[in-house]
Amino acid sequence: APRPARKATRSDSGSRHIYILEEEAAAGESMRLTLNNFGYQAEHFNSIAGLDAALQQHLPDALIVDVNLPGESCSGLDYAARLQQRLDAPLPLLVLTQQDDFATQLQAVRAGALGFFAKPVDIPQLESRLERCFAQQHGEPYRVLIVDDDQDLASRYSLVLRGAGMLVEVLREPAQIFAHLRDFNPEVVLLDVNMPDCTGPELAQIIRCNDDWLRIPIIYLSAETDIAKQMSALIKAGDDFVSKPISDHALVATVFSRAQRARLLSNALARDSLTGLLKHGDIKEQVAIELERALRSGDRASVAMLDIDHFKRVNDSHGHAAGDNVIRALANLLRQRLRRIDSLGRYGGEEFLAVLPDCPPEQARLILDEIRQRFAELRFIAEGGEFSCTLSAGIAGTDVHSDAEQLRERADKALYAAKHGGRNQVRLAE
C-alpha cells in the first residue's frame, strides 16, 4: 500500500474522524451510523484499497479494523501493522475479531491496538474505549509547582518542563505555599531539600497536614547522595527523590509519570467509576456555582435532569452488565453532544444531571431533544438479543427567585411530568 501523502492531516474539527475497515457491509454500516449518533464523523470502507485511497487525502483520529478480511491478501492486523510503521505517529487502533485467543491479542497489541472487541461488537462499549483513548491523548497540560530558592536552577527546570507541554509555576518563598496550592492546584510539587528558612522535608510535612493536598506527589530535588538521608526525607513526607544534576529527559519522565498517576487518582476520586462523570455531590455543587455566575452576569443558564426510561426492565431482561453499558453509553453521548463548558454528573442510578451555562431553557430543550433522539437510535447487544432504550428529561432555567436546590427540584418536577406524560420526551419546568 502507498505511503499516506504529506498533505494528509488529522481532523481539526470538534468531532473526531473515524475510519472503519470492515468487509461485511451490514456490520460496517451499523457501526458507522451508531458512531455518527455519538457525534463522530465515521466512514466505512469494505476494502483495503478504498481505505488506502482515503488515507492519501486525510488521516483519521482513530482506526477500527476487522482482523478477518477474506477478500484480501492479508489480515486486518497485518495491514494495520504495516500502516502504523509508515506513519509519523501511530493511529489509535481498535481491533474487531471473531477469535479472542491469546496469539491474536498479542499480535493486535504489537500492531498498536488500544482495544480488542469480539464479534458481535457492543458498539457503545467500543465508543467508550474510543473516548478514553482521546481523553488520554488530548487531556489538559499537567500542572507542576517548583519550590526552590535557587532562581537559575528553578528557571532551567521550568523551561525544560514547559518545553514538554506542562504548565509550571516557580515559588521561591516557602511561606507562600498555601496560596499557590489553592490557586494553581498543582498535580506535582518539585521541592528543593536544602532551603535556608524552611527545609524541603519540613515544607512537605506542612503540605501533608492538609487533607485536600494529600493526593499531590512531592518529588525532592537535592544534590544529597547519602541514601540514609534520602530515605529519612521520604519517610517524613514525600514520594520520590531526584539527585542533582538530572538530565532533561529524566526530569520530564519523572514528573510526567507522577503527574499522570496523580491525575488518574484524582479523577477516580472525583468522578463516577462507571461513567467518568462527576459524582452526586460534585455535580450539585456545579449547580450552585453556575447559578451564582448567571445571577452576576445576567445570562440565563439551564439545569437538566435526565433519566433512562424503564431501566429496571433492562436489568431484569438483559442483566446488570447490559444495564451498565446503557448507562455508560448515555454518559458518552452526553459528553460528545454537549459543550466543554457544560457540567455533567451521574446523579444516581440511571439518573443524570447537566448544567448548561449561558443557555436559556428553550435552547437547552432543542439540544437535549436531539440527544434524546440519538439515544433512541442506539442499539445494544446482550444475551437476550438486541435492544434499544429511551430517555426522559426535565429542564429548569435560572432566575432570581430560585436557589440551587430549588432549581434542581424544578428540573426534577419537569422530569416527573415527562415520565407521566408518556416518557421519551423533554419537558420545561413551569
Q: Give the pLDDT of residue 139.
A: 67
Contact 294, 401 (CB under 8 A): no
Cell output for 367: 439540544
Contact 95, 68 (CB under 8 A): no
DSSP state of 271: B
Residue 423: pLDDT over 60: yes
Cell output for 181: 496550592
Contact 180, 216 (CB under 8 A): no
Give the strands of the sheet with 62-66, arranged side by side: 41-45, 17-21, 62-66, 93-97, 113-118
| Residues 6+ away with beta carbon under 8 Å from 4 | 55, 56, 59, 86, 87
The amino acid occupying position 111 is: A
Q: Give the pLDDT of residue 364.
A: 96
Query: Quick count: other Cβ atoms within 10 Å of Cβ 193?
Result: 22
Contact 393, 423 (CB under 8 A): no
Cell output for 137: 491523548
| Closest CA relative to residue 362, chosen from 290, 429, 293, 292 | 429
pLDDT tens for residues 31-76? 898 888 777 899 999 999 999 999 999 999 999 999 999 989 999 9
Q: Rounded distance, CA 272 to CA 249, Å?
A: 35
* Strands, E assignment, 111-235: 113-118, 143-147, 167-171, 188-192, 218-222
Cell output for 78: 497485518
Cα three-residue angle 219-174-243, rounded to 5 degrees: 30
Contact 92, 131 (CB under 8 A): no
In a 3-state reduction of DSSP, which class is residue 258?
helix
| CATH numbers and ranges of domains, the chain | 17-137 (3.40.50.2300), 143-270 (3.40.50.2300), 280-428 (3.30.70.270)
pLDDT tens for residues 129-181? 887 778 766 668 899 999 998 889 899 999 999 998 899 999 999 999 999 99
Contact 313, 361 (CB under 8 A): no
Contact 259, 236 (CB under 8 A): no
Q: Rounded distance, CA 20 to CA 31, Å?
A: 8
Is this prediction's pTM over 0.85? no
| Closest CA relative to residue 350, chosen from 308, 302, 386, 315 | 308
Q: Which residue has the cell 507541554?
A: 165
In a 3-state reduction of DSSP, which class is residue 334?
helix
pLDDT tens for residues 323-374? 988 998 899 899 888 988 899 999 999 999 999 999 999 999 999 999 999 9
Question: Could you tell me the pLDDT band of residue 117, with boundaries at 50, 70 and 90?
Answer: very high
- Would you tell me the crossing angle of helices 123-137 and 320-337 to the nearest 10 degrees? 50
